[in-house]
Chain A
Amino acid sequence: MPSNLPEVIGMQPNQFNVDVANKLKVVSLVSVGKHPQSGRMRRADQDSRAVELGLKLTGDNHSGESLTVLHAGDPSEPSLRSYAGMGLKSVRVLQLDPAADAILPLGQHLQQCGADIVLTGVRAESGESSGMVPYQLAEKLGWPIVPRVADIVSVKGGVAEVLQALPRGQRRSVMVRLPFIASVDSAAPEARQSAFGPASRALMDIEVVSASVDDVRQAWEEAAARKRPKRLKVVKAKTAAERFKAATAKSQGDGGKVMKNESAAEQAQAIFDLLKEEGVLR
């Protein structure tokens, strides 16, 4: 659907500016994270960046008045409190059976609460970790999705200017109409410290919901991920500068082309052709 595709504009972001801030309703979706070394439950890194971005959008001074931090799952999970430790008064929890599929109740809740911007991590640190939640929610709600954002620069007149994170520190500025869903990349500003006092004090605002059991997942078996074998890269660099380049450079990627001056119809056709070629559309 070309009308929902983000529109590419200039690369220089303006100063952050929200002219509808008092009305803006941001929802940050959070999951239960897992520490990569200890496997201990914690606040997920990207999800907490989504909360941080939400706090920035709604203004720190309002103690997150129009920011809702939402989790679907077990409200007694202690790691949820470490999100609250970032200075939240409450965390909204849709209490679900662990085996249930969270998409439907989440979608319903988002629709009902009138969210303007929904922030998620790119992928969860535990569970399926498929990174599909933002996409499935976008599909369900019919909202645009902006993957891997590094920042939301401004929200003006129902349109947000969003910076997407690209490899090697590059950014792409896109304009997107509210409401939309964005997944927050690890390039987004780091989450603030979680403090024990506010974390213990926060209210767990629980709503019991029911949802169908995720049958597909029931059949899965969970195992620790193993690192895939990787071909060793032989660096033939002679100078330090070459070695540095070899260590940091990423391939630009073959193929693909930048279409800036062509007409919208031509651009749409090119995308359509590519999707067909890749077998996405049949």
Chain B
Amino acid sequence: MSFEWLHPLLIATALVLAVIGAVRRVNLWRAGKPDRINLIAGLMAMPGRYLHDLHDIVERDKYMSKTHAATGGGFVLSALLIILVHLLGIDNQILAWALLAALALMFVGALFVFKRRLNPPSRISKGPWMRLPKSLLAFAGAFFVLTLPAAGVLPEGSGGVLLTVILTVLIIWGMGELFFGMTWGGPMKHAFAGALHLAFHRRQERFGGGRSTGLKPVDLSLAKEIGGVLGVAKPTDFKWNQLLGFDACVQCGKCEAMCPAFAAGQPLNPKKLIQDMVVGLAGGTDANYAGSPYPGKEVGNAKGGPDHIITDGLIDPETLWSCTTCRACVEECPMMIEHVDAIVDMRRYLTMERGKTPNKGAEVLDNIIATDNPNGYAPASRTNWAADQNLPLMRDVKQAEVLFWVSDGAFDMRSQRILRAFVKLLKAASVDFAVLGDEELDSGDVARRLGDDATFQSLAKRNLEVLSQYKFSKIVTTDPHAYHCLRNEYSDFGSDALDGVEVLHHTTFLNQLVQLGRLKLNNFSGAKVTYHDPCYLGRYNGEYEAPRELLRSMGIEIAEMERSGFRSRCCGGGGGAPITDIPGERRIADMRMEDASSTGAELVAVGCQQCTAMLEGVVEPRPEVKDIAEILMDQLVDPSVENPRQDRLAEEVH
């Protein structure tokens, strides 16, 4: 081969340019707000997070996980060896052979990438991404040939000028994509940004299976500072590691395929949203975006920059309000991007700075502020539903084993049936419980998801104040949204009211009671039953098993829907979506009911009053909808019939 000096020079140039690009890109991220992250610990943990947390998600698609392991692993290995062999010119046959093996691995992987791209599903982005497999093949192929002499397969200097020219072109192309493109914004950017995103993730606790949201309380004192903004108005108002996270997107569209709002034809596509964030942080337009648009909205009109207000030209507020915060996208994202937290961050600006919560949003927030419940009922009527239940009040008893958190279902006649069923079960199991009565307030879930963090914080602090007056070892609630707030979001307020308290969803608690034999159940003899996982119970809190075990304990064989467990489809009722009510082509609840109907089930078991309301809102004929507490109540072996003294016995045992 001629021009021996040429290739090392090219490699060096590509690497230098890559480093310059990296510095440039890092500076784009650094324009964001500071966030406290232990950089060293993050970097140390990164390989583990890649091999464990990230790979677990990619592994759900076996084809892609193997392809990626071959291509990505092969590339990383080749890149290191190329530097040793070709740039530093270390003349070592073993190294050269290792490089050949790595390149071969990468080449085979790239062939599979190529194959997938032959007939790509609609969810994945085209455009520059269609070029990527060819670039990978060019890189691997060209370096393979270039390495043959070093491995002693070909004599030094073999091949003519033509071969050298071809190889040089391929190498420039390959390195342009893989070294230069990695930091200058090509498809390979995902490797660079993605690795750092894993290291400096906004929700570090996520990697130990920790349950949280990245929705840290807004610093409300910003409202009084000059130039202070509540929530995220411009891309630079995000934390720097959120910006980094957006840049990690591979545009695989797994989020898009799972998003209920996208499926319903509402103007939201999580993938496009993240790409618009990238447009925002880097500046420019979305003209180069080559994936599915927001339903009903054309691509190419969005413009943004780091200091432009996002909702003025980059993203339509309707897009942000379409989200049900179900986290299907977050669960599915192989790059572990946090779409939902970003959406709520931007909603905070719209609500707290602009006063632009759409449709019923403003009214609901006003009601919550004035009456501590979203429908504006008299606060003193919160316990009216239990007028005939003779419930012990915490105010009177001061302590109990279980605090039953009733939630705003208290005001809704359908939800009251769930509450009554649960009370009956508690009494049947002789649980020592009490309620807060009128001292309980809205949990703040809706206020927070609608972006009014001021109201969320006020409710949380007042609820914690009340809770701190009483003694209890467990809080049990039938509302997964309140459950999530109490369990995961109230801990930010420095109160010791919940220290050492176990927060449980009623299905978890009832399952414990059944396992302990404190609830005796008849076998369920009805028709086929399916179970709908509430998002805030499942994806937010990882409780998939207890409700299913409860159903099984009644002899029910669950006819699982195609989308169940962590892939459960939202009912459409989360995140204030029924309040902001952004129009689409279909209703999310209808789609979910179709999922249920297609199992042939005649009963949908649910663990959330919001899901119950949404699914029962679907026109008949459809399967019946019942909360698990209601199903259990119907199967309860009546202790007064079987053994009149069982109540007291149970108490003595307990």
Contacts and interface: CB of A to CB of B under 8 A. Distances in A.
Nearest to B221: A200
Nearest to B381: A37
A196 to B, nearest CB: 4
B371 A196 contact: no
Contact of A38 (B353, B356, B361, B379): B379
A99 interface: no
B187 to A, nearest CB: 39
Interface string A83-95: 0011100000000
Nearest to B453: A196
B371 A38 contact: yes
B263 interface: no
B370 A195 contact: no
B370 A197 contact: no
B313 interface: no
Nearest to B375: A37
A228 B455 CA distance: 36
Interface string B365-409: 110011110001111000000000000000000000000000000
A194 interface: yes
Contacts of A177: none
Contacts of A85: 355
A212 interface: no
A40 B380 CA distance: 12
B220 A200 contact: yes
A197 B352 CA distance: 5
A196 B370 contact: no
Given A37-B379, A38-B379, A197 B371 contact: no
Interface in B198-233: 220, 223-224, 229-230
B354 A195 contact: yes
A66 B576 CA distance: 37
Interface residues of A, number: 17
A140 interface: no
B438 to A, nearest CB: 11
B355 A37 contact: no
Contact of A197 (B353, B366, B372, B455): B353
A37 B357 CA distance: 23
A192 interface: yes
Interface size class of B (residues with CB under 8 A): 20 to 34
A196 B223 contact: yes
B223 A87 contact: no
A201 B223 contact: yes
| Most B Cβ at <10 Å: residue of A38, A197, A200 | A197
A4 to B, nearest CB: 38
A105 B100 CA distance: 92
A197 B356 contact: no
Interface in A241-276: none
A172 interface: no
A195 B224 contact: no
A192 B376 CA distance: 18
Contact of A198 (B220, B353, B365, B366): B353
A193 B220 contact: no
A37 B365 CA distance: 15
A35 interface: yes
B322 interface: no
A171 interface: no
A196 B376 contact: no
Interface in B419-469: 452, 454-455
A193 B357 CA distance: 8
B379 A196 contact: no
Contacts of A193: 351, 355-357, 361-362, 365-366
B346 to A, nearest CB: 14
Interface string A175-218: 00000000000000000111111101100000000000000000
Contacts of A197: 223, 229-230, 352-353
Contacts of B352: 195-197
Contact of A192 (B351, B355, B377): B355
A56 interface: no
Contacts of B362: 192-193
Contact of B371 (A37, A195, A200): A37
A126 B352 CA distance: 27
Contact of B454 (A87, A192, A196): A196
Contacts of A40: 370-371
A192 B351 CA distance: 12
A37 B377 contact: yes
A131 B401 CA distance: 53
A38 B370 contact: yes
Given A193-B362, A196-B452, A87 B370 contact: no
Given A42-B370, A193-B356, A197-B352, A37 B376 contact: yes
Contacts of A192: 355, 362
A38 B376 CA distance: 8
Interface string B334-358: 0000000000000000011111110
B353 A195 contact: yes
A196 B224 contact: no
Contacts of A35: 370-371, 376
A38 B378 contact: yes
A37 B378 contact: yes
Nearest to B376: A37
A200 B221 CA distance: 9
B217 to A, nearest CB: 13
A225 to B, nearest CB: 15
Interface in A74-89: 85-87
| Most B Cβ at <10 Å: residue of A85, A86, A193 | A193
B223 A200 contact: yes
Contacts of B366: 42, 193-194
Nearest to B365: A193
Given A38-B371, A193-B362, A193-B365, A87 B355 contact: yes
A198 B356 CA distance: 13
A195 B454 CA distance: 10
B366 to A, nearest CB: 8
A226 to B, nearest CB: 15
Nearest to B351: A195
A200 B225 CA distance: 10
Interface string A37-48: 110101000000
A119 to B, nearest CB: 20
Nearest to B358: A193
Nearest to A41: B370
Contacts of B356: 193
Nearest to B379: A38
Nearest to B223: A200
A61 to B, nearest CB: 15
A194 B355 contact: yes
B77 to A, nearest CB: 52
A86 B224 contact: no
Nearest to B222: A197
A69 B231 CA distance: 27
A214 B592 CA distance: 63
Contacts of A37: 370-371, 376-379
Nearest to A86: B355
Contacts of B224: 200-201
A30 to B, nearest CB: 16
Nearest to A197: B353
A198 B355 contact: yes
Nearest to B370: A35
A85 B351 CA distance: 11
A197 B223 CA distance: 5
A42 B379 CA distance: 15
A179 to B, nearest CB: 30
11 contacts: A37-B377, A193-B357, A193-B361, A194-B355, A195-B353, A196-B220, A196-B452, A196-B454, A196-B455, A197-B352, A201-B224
7 nearest A-B pairs in the assembled complex, by CB-CB distance? A195-B355, A193-B362, A200-B223, A193-B355, A37-B378, A197-B353, A35-B370
Given A198-B353, A200-B223, 13 more contacts: A35-B376, A37-B376, A38-B372, A42-B369, A86-B355, A192-B355, A193-B355, A193-B361, A194-B355, A196-B230, A197-B223, A197-B230, A200-B220
